[in-house]
């Protein structure tokens, strides 16, 4: 019988991100919508966003972010056993975007599937991959968040279309039996379908008569976000016997600077310890946490050994956290 390698922890060993070339400023949106740079900046912190060109898709951007994460990890696609892709904007109903990415990377081994948890998708995918690694089923995984929300926007609806951007982020996870305290310490996932109508997409292939546009009751989602993310953060630390003072970096989902500041304030974390990309990327849904992580690891802010707390909330409602020692 083949003996399984039982990992104690999943380490984050590679980081990658991809943003499409086209940058759209608030002022450019204000040329064709009744909005202003001032409204968008003061309500959300967003100044610009990247939007896809005709040839970019969740699979193409996810594959590029994955290549960069593999390069960082000094691994190749042949080393990967599974690909987990968080996306609400897949290229097709099937095959899964994860399988398209496998093909783009030249992988014939292993398996891949998509995870639908909207803006919390990366946390859900990270948790899934971690469970596969610690159960001994796989050793190395790619965890990717990739989104093209520009294709599900109602570009006439100023209350939503100014908030989102496109992009992809990826990490490579690798099982380790080293007893030190690095790696994913815990993940906590939640969903509550009774709040499903606060943030949703009207349509899918099963409902061809619907518009397929994102709809949001922004004020209600905002209210849920601050409360639920604060308790997700408490839960993560309590379970590990850690306190706010132990957190080196908060890497939050990038929906709105006011929500991020609310959670950081609760943690008593100074703004220099919070990774912010919402100003330049807007809300890239499942891609926002891995894009922020990639940026802060590559520019040297997040260092090996740092305790990083990630959190996200999105349509579902779904929400959760991941506590990781890099």
How many whole angstroms separate alpha carbon 275 and alpha carbon 27?
Answer: 25
Instruction: Tell me the window of 175-183, 215-223, 241-249, 260-268 that interacts with ligand UT7 (CB under 6 A).
Output: 215-223
CB atoms under 10 Å from CB of 201, counted, come to 18
Residue 41 near ligand UT7 by CB under 6 A: no
35 binds ligand UT7 (CB under 6 A): yes
* Contact partners, residue 160, CB within 8 Å, separation at least 6: 153, 154, 214, 215, 216, 218
Q: How far apart are CA 301 and CA 107, in angstroms?
A: 33
Question: How far apart are the C-alpha atoms of 63 and 315, rounded to whole Å?
Answer: 24
Please say if 253 is a catalytic residue.
yes
Query: How far does CA 246 lie from the centroid of its chain?
Result: 23
Among 2, 108, 219, 304, binds ligand UT7 (CB under 6 A): 219
Q: Which positions from 254 through 283 interact with ligand UT7, judged by CB under 6 A? A: 255-256, 259, 283
Q: Collapsing DSSP states into helix, strand and coil, what is residue 5? A: coil
C-alpha 65: how far from chain center: 12
Q: Which of 12, 18, 44, 102 binds ligand UT7 (CB under 6 A)?
A: 44
| 283 carries an active-site annotation | yes
Residues 6+ apart with CB under 8 A from 231: none
Q: Which of 50, 213, 253, 281 is catalytic?
A: 253
Residue 27 binds ligand UT7 (CB under 6 A)? no
x/- track of binding to ligand UT7 for residues 158-197 (CB under 6 A): xx--xx----------------------------------
Residues noted as catalytic: 119, 253, 283
Q: Kindly list the residues in this chain that would bind ligand UT7 in the complex (CB under 6 A).
A: 35, 39-40, 43-44, 119, 158-159, 162-163, 218-219, 221-222, 225, 255-256, 259, 283, 313-314
């Amino acid at each position: 019988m083949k003996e399984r390698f039982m990992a104690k922890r999943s380490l984050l060993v590679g980081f990658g991100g991809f943003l499409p070339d086209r940058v759209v400023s608030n002022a450019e949106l204000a040329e064709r919508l009744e909005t202003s740079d001032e409204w968008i900046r003061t309500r959300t912190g967003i100044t610009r966003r990247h939007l896809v060109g005709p040839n970019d898709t969740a699979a193409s951007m996810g594959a590029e972010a994955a290549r960069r994460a593999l390069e960082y990890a000094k691994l190749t696609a042949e080393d990967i056993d599974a690909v987990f892709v968080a996306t609400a904007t897949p290229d097709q109903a099937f095959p899964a975007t994860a399988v398209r990415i496998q093909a783009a990377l030249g992988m014939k081994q292993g398996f891949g599937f998509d995870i639908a948890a909207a803006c919390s998708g990366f946390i859900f995918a990270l948790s899934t991959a971690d469970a596969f690694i610690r159960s001994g089923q796989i050793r190395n995984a790619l965890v990717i968040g990739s989104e093209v929300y520009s294709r599900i926007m109602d570009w006439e609806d100023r209350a939503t279309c100014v908030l989102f951007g496109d992009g992809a982020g990826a990490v490579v996870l690798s099982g380790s039996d080293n007893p030190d305290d690095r790696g994913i310490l815990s993940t906590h996932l939640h969903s509550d379908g009774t709040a499903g109508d606060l943030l949703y997409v009207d349509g899918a292939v099963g409902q061809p008569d619907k518009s397929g546009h994102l709809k949001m009751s922004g004020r209600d989602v905002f209210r849920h976000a601050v409360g639920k993310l604060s308790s997700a953060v408490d839960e993560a630390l309590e379970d590990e016997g850690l306190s706010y003072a132990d957190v080196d970096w908060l890497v939050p989902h990038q929906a709105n600077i006011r929500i991020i500041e609310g959670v950081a304030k609760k943690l008593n974390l100074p703004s220099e310890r919070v990774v912010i990309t919402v100003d330049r990327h807007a809300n890239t849904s499942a891609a926002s946490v891995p894009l922020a992580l990639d940026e802060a690891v590559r520019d040297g802010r997040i260092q090996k050994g740092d305790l990083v707390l990630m959190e996200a909330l999105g349509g579902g409602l779904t929400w959760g956290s991941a506590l990781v020692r890099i």
